[in-house]
Structure 1
Amino acid sequence: MKMNKTKTKILLGALIGFFLLAGSVAFTVKNDKLFAIAKNIDIFATLVRELDSYYVDEIDPDELVTVGIQAMLDELDPYTEYIPEEESEDFRMMTTGEYGGVGALIGARGEGSMIIMPYTGFPAQNAGLRIADKLLKVDTVDVSQKSTSDVSELLKGPENTPVKVSVLRDTDTLEFELVRKKISLKNVPYYGKLDASTGYIKLSDFTTNASAEVRNALVDLKAQGAEKLVLDLRDNPGGLLSEAVEIVNLFIPKGKEVVKTIGKIENVNRTYKTSKTPVDKNIPLVVLLNERSASASEIVAGALQDYDRAVLVGRKSFGKGLVQTTIPLTYNAQVKVTTAKYYIPSGRCIQAIDYALSREEGEIRSIPDSLRQAFKTQNGRTVLDGAGIEPDETVEAYRYAPITYSLVAGNHVFDFATQYFYSKPAVANIEEFEVSDELYEDFVSFLSDREYDYTTYLEKSLEDMKELAEQAPYYSEIKEQVEALEKRIIHNKEQDLISYQQEIRKALREEIISRYYFQEGMIQASLQNDSVIEKAMELFSTPDKMGQILTAKSE
């Protein structure tokens, strides 16, 4: 049926009118927003000027404006942050893992700063600096009372520049002359064999070259006879998205989607696919994760789960599914701003916290279970969005006894390991070294004149019960019984040192080994009696069960 000319004119007029009106509304809305931005920037600038003129004390405009900017960004999410020019080098180091310095982690253990870990192959270790060396001077500057951050800044500097360091080791004052180098922190601080046929790779970060390090480790392990692999992403906070895509590509074929980023503006919408031939698309693979595995770690774990390529073991990951982009500002400042969300191959987003809802309600709000959506892996397994990556096999976190926490947090384990190192220049290799009964008795004696205390789980429960009971009208009637119970359960340190000696021995073993074998040795030592590693090995020993997990088939 043909439309007559009059109706056509009316329809065209209506459409033209609609688009003109829509354009006018859009233009007005845009102009209103631009006016609001300009108005508030003008108010802010005027406020700072007037404060500088009239406030009773002198103010630092740079500091005041930075605080104001940070407070504004805090209203959005924890990942959108302002980076002033003076912090740009630190930000670059976080992204690339590179900086000019001596290659040592420093920190506080009691008064002053000391070497916590000299990294293998860098100037500090090569020159002979060791864990627990207390820093006294950097060049001519006395640093014995300076903050750790101040000391760290003094140690950093351009490549190939000299720096002199004075330290206290036990009772000796030692001086070292070092030459700063470009420090490239390893993304893979350790890899090795768990048994004759099982390889292990610890991936601690996703800075530049992370994928190349994992590739090299994988190739080397296969050359050593590894037929199965554990990829450990526990405590890995994430990093570069491109490195995550390349690591997934080591295990799945070319041309597969790994992750999408979807945001408000078109140029952040992108699909990332594998682009290379994998190193090994068939090797049995277990990926370890926990509540501190975030961002790029979750992309790797989630993509491998969505393609049913790996069994995930451990605990639910952090749930960071937000993408940040760094945007340059004037005067060499930058802003790292959240611009998109990640979506992994099944289509799910792994973001756990709804920051828009949190802003509305004034408290951090996780996405409720009722709003989590179900998605399917390649083999048809059900996976959910909205709360991080859930493992296929959950291993609950080990709860260390309060006495162990107290001994570690109070530096008693650290100090004993240091004393042991001073008395013994060498120990057996990592596999053979154990904390003997005699050595443990030495530690108990070491504690005899040191202060440490803690509250046991039972004591905490009694405290809570007593607090509630005191509010009851009949408390006076039961007061004597409560006090008698309190006396009976007061903890006995000597007994706790016996009851919890296995976990205390484990902490001692790792700390002592770190003195001789540094970061790599400490990681290797920590794998012993690790319940998550044990679960992975159990799965490898039952390949049928791994197959059932990955195909969603019941036994």
Structure 2
Amino acid sequence: MKRLVPFTLLLLASLVAVRAQNDRAFEIAKNLEVFGNVYKNIHLYYVDDVDPGKAVKTAIDAMLASLDPYTNYYPESDMEDVKLQLLGQYGGVGALIHQNGDKIYIAEPYKGLPADQAGLRAGDRIVAVNGESTEGKRNADVSSAMRGQAGTTVTLTLERDGSRFDRTLTRREIQLPNVPYSGMVDGRIGYIKLNEFTQDAGRHVREAFLDLKKSHPAMQGLIIDLRGNGGGLMNEAVDLVNIFVDKGALVVETKGKVAAKNTRSYTTRRADDTTIPLAVLIDGYSASASEIVSGSLQDFDRAVVVGSRSFGKGLVQNILPMPYNNQLKVTVSKYYIPSGRCIQAVDYSHRDENGRAVKVPDSLKVAFRTAHGRVVYDGFGIEPDVEVKPEYMSSLAIALTQRFLVFDFVTEYVRTHASIAPPDRFEVSDSLYDAFVAWLSNKDYDYTTVTERMLKELREVAQEERYLASIEQDLQSMEQRFRGDKKQDLIKHRDEVAAMLKAEILVRYYYNEGRIAGSLSDDPDVQCAVRILSDRKQYSRILSGE
């Protein structure tokens, strides 16, 4: 009799499990039937014609949006976007465009690609694509028209300095560079910028590193810049870590609903350099694969992480083939870095009363330890070892950017300046800055500062609470004094605006490499990393947790 008790309990548990599975299968079948009948009746009885593809995609998108921002459905027409995400490739002419008002302009032709080879310049207005006017069209529509299968042609009608001309370009397979720039800072510290973890990113970083070592044998340290890098392929992150961490180290582990699909990714070959001091730069836009690299190197105590807290994306997506050449990108697991922590910052399975996903509360964050025993935490991205306060754009800088005034000024500047100094020596002189200020004198770039908004709110609250009469005179005095101070913003924010001018001028003459190279000497994060890597005692003290 005693032996029958555990057997009976096991049988009951099995029956409950089977019942639960059957209930779930019934719910799925029932809801699919309901959905099919809803659409069938809309198709039969709705007063206007309904596009079936558009209607079903809207339903699918709404369903996936209730899960997380990374689970997406891609119809066949969007395959170029999928290719761009995974491989950094697309068929096109190799130019960035932007919209100013109802007009579309070339913003940046990429070096050596069809647009650049055809002589297109930043500031050229795109009047028509294959004879179809761009007037009033959205930036995305014009970009889509310019893209297409490699080997096909596209004719652009352009306007420059009041004259119109046509250029017929042959589209190519455009491969966006993973590593747009690598070089030396202060002649002693190497620097590699990695934009995204698309195919071969790890190999490209390795090649850039080995080239720097070969050309600068006395290199004292290396900076890997992952700021603004939203991630990509997980295997490329493992390959990058393997450059600096020897074979056999567990870099990342994934865990999901299907246990058979869980993975453990190790370094697979001998490292190229296990001793060179490393600094990894991150910010709030460093996510996913960027966090695997920065977090694992932090957990191994192999690099000092510098900057500001990363985004906090600890979710892994797979792309699944669907019928009729459609594809589904779906979140299948969470990833865990060497210390055992998951850095996912938002819990999409729990939402507030407004339907918004909630951040992982501090009370649920768990402490983990690095190889040397330093305490690190899960649940909110990668916390840098050395924090550099992020610099936010002033209201003035935002207004100048939104109205493309720096861009337009530089377009005129380039017409009268055939060449400029190399990126590492070019600076915005007082005379150049004064010319920009004078050029702005008849331009509209009105903007509202945070102070102005707060004064307006204070006035509204005071009026509502009937205190306005007693403080009206003081408010008017502050507003008048502030308006006078605001006129000095171009002087007060000279360094910030001059940096914007410098970046835009450098990209016109030296492409993106020049813009990056010219920014390093004024970059607070880079300079902080240089100081740490140049001081071996400080570097070792940070990694030892002293």
TM-score by length of 2: 0.96
**More displaced, 518-527 or 299-308?**
518-527
Rounded Cα–Cα distance in structure 2 between residues aligned with 1:427 and 1:352: 45
Which residue number in structure 2 is paired with residue 543 of structure 1?
A: 536
CA positional deviation for 1:492:
4.7
What residue identity is the alignment partner of 1:345? P
Is 1:478 the counterpart of 2:477? The answer is no
Contact in 2 for aligned 1:327/1:336 (Cα 8 Å): yes
CA positional deviation for 1:176:
2.0
What residue identity is the alignment partner of 1:522? R
Which residue number in structure 1 is paired with residue 118 of structure 2?
A: 127
Q: Report matched runs for 1:433-452 at 5 Å.
A: 433-452=426-445
Residue 159 of structure 1 is aligned with which of 130, 136, 150?
Answer: 150
Q: Report matched runs for 1:500-511 at 5 Å.
A: 500-511=493-504
Cα distance per residue 1:80-123 (max 9 Å; x no partner): 11112221232122111112211112221333222222122211
**More displaced, 402-411 or 453-462?**
453-462
SS, match of residue 191 in structure 2: strand
Rounded Cα–Cα distance in structure 1 between residues aligned with 2:493 and 2:316: 44
Which residue number in structure 1 is paired with residue 314 of structure 2?
A: 321
SS, match of residue 432 in structure 1: coil
Rounded Cα–Cα distance in structure 2 between residues aligned with 1:409 and 1:136: 21
Gaps of at least 5 residues in structure 2 are: none
Which residue number in structure 2 is paired with residue 4 of structure 1?
A: none
Is 1:467 the counterpart of 2:463? The answer is no
Contact in 2 for aligned 1:135/1:144 (Cα 8 Å): no
CA positional deviation for 1:359:
6.5
Which residue number in structure 2 is paired with residue 202 of structure 1?
A: 193
Contact in 1 for aligned 2:426/2:518 (Cα 8 Å): no
What residue identity is the alignment partner of 1:416? F
Q: Report matched runs for 1:305-454 at 5 Å.
A: 305-358=298-351, 362-454=355-447
Which residue number in structure 2 is paired with residue 258 of structure 1?
A: 251
Which residue number in structure 2 is paired with residue 284 of structure 1?
A: 277
SS, match of residue 527 in structure 1: helix
Contact in 1 for aligned 2:126/2:158 (Cα 8 Å): yes
**More displaced, 113-122 or 274-283?**
113-122
Which residue number in structure 1 is paired with residue 81 of structure 2?
A: 90
What residue identity is the alignment partner of 2:165? L
Rounded Cα–Cα distance in structure 1 between residues aligned with 2:478 and 2:426: 43
SS, match of residue 528 in structure 1: helix
CA positional deviation for 1:314:
0.3
CA positional deviation for 1:491:
4.6
Which residue number in structure 1 is paired with residue 222 of structure 2?
A: 229
Is 1:273 the counterpart of 2:266? The answer is yes
Gaps of at least 5 residues in structure 1 are: 1-9
Is 1:43 the counterpart of 2:34? The answer is yes
Contact in 2 for aligned 1:75/1:359 (Cα 8 Å): no
What residue identity is the alignment partner of 1:420? Y
Rounded Cα–Cα distance in structure 2 between residues aligned with 1:165 and 1:361: 47
Rounded Cα–Cα distance in structure 2 between residues aligned with 1:244 and 1:81: 23
Which residue number in structure 2 is paired with residue 220 of structure 1?
A: 211
Rounded Cα–Cα distance in structure 1 between residues aligned with 2:389 and 2:248: 36
Contact in 2 for aligned 1:170/1:422 (Cα 8 Å): no
Rounded Cα–Cα distance in structure 2 between residues aligned with 1:525 and 1:237: 23
Which residue number in structure 1 is paired with residue 242 of structure 2?
A: 249
Rounded Cα–Cα distance in structure 1 between residues aligned with 2:92 and 2:391: 37
CA positional deviation for 1:15:
3.3
- 1:497/1:254 CA distance change after superposition, 3 Å: same
Which residue number in structure 2 is paired with residue 59 of structure 1?
A: 50
Rounded Cα–Cα distance in structure 2 between residues aligned with 1:138 and 1:471: 55
SS, match of residue 438 in structure 2: helix
**More displaced, 47-56 or 135-144?**
135-144
Which residue number in structure 2 is paired with residue 523 of structure 1?
A: 516
Contact in 1 for aligned 2:71/2:329 (Cα 8 Å): yes
Rounded Cα–Cα distance in structure 2 between residues aligned with 1:410 and 1:491: 23
Contact in 2 for aligned 1:254/1:278 (Cα 8 Å): yes
SS, match of residue 349 in structure 2: helix
Rounded Cα–Cα distance in structure 1 between residues aligned with 2:418 and 2:154: 27
RMSD over aligned CA atoms reads 1.6
Rounded Cα–Cα distance in structure 1 between residues aligned with 2:360 and 2:127: 50
Contact in 2 for aligned 1:426/1:516 (Cα 8 Å): yes
CA positional deviation for 1:427:
1.6
CA positional deviation for 1:259:
0.3
Contact in 2 for aligned 1:285/1:311 (Cα 8 Å): yes
Rounded Cα–Cα distance in structure 1 between residues aligned with 2:111 and 2:174: 11
Rounded Cα–Cα distance in structure 1 between residues aligned with 2:372 and 2:37: 61
Contact in 2 for aligned 1:76/1:359 (Cα 8 Å): no
What residue identity is the alignment partner of 2:69? P
Rounded Cα–Cα distance in structure 2 between residues aligned with 1:538 and 1:387: 27
Contact in 2 for aligned 1:456/1:491 (Cα 8 Å): no
Residue 103 of structure 2 is aligned with which of 112, 118, 131?
Answer: 112
Contact in 2 for aligned 1:298/1:317 (Cα 8 Å): yes
Cα distance per residue 1:469-514 (max 9 Å; x no partner): 2232333222232223222222555422122212111111111111
Rounded Cα–Cα distance in structure 2 between residues aligned with 1:474 and 1:47: 57
Rounded Cα–Cα distance in structure 2 between residues aligned with 1:383 and 1:531: 24
What residue identity is the alignment partner of 2:86? T
Contact in 1 for aligned 2:254/2:335 (Cα 8 Å): yes
Contact in 2 for aligned 1:459/1:490 (Cα 8 Å): no
Rounded Cα–Cα distance in structure 2 between residues aligned with 1:174 and 1:230: 45
**More displaced, 135-144 or 419-428?**
135-144
Rounded Cα–Cα distance in structure 1 between residues aligned with 2:228 and 2:107: 19
Contact in 1 for aligned 2:93/2:170 (Cα 8 Å): yes
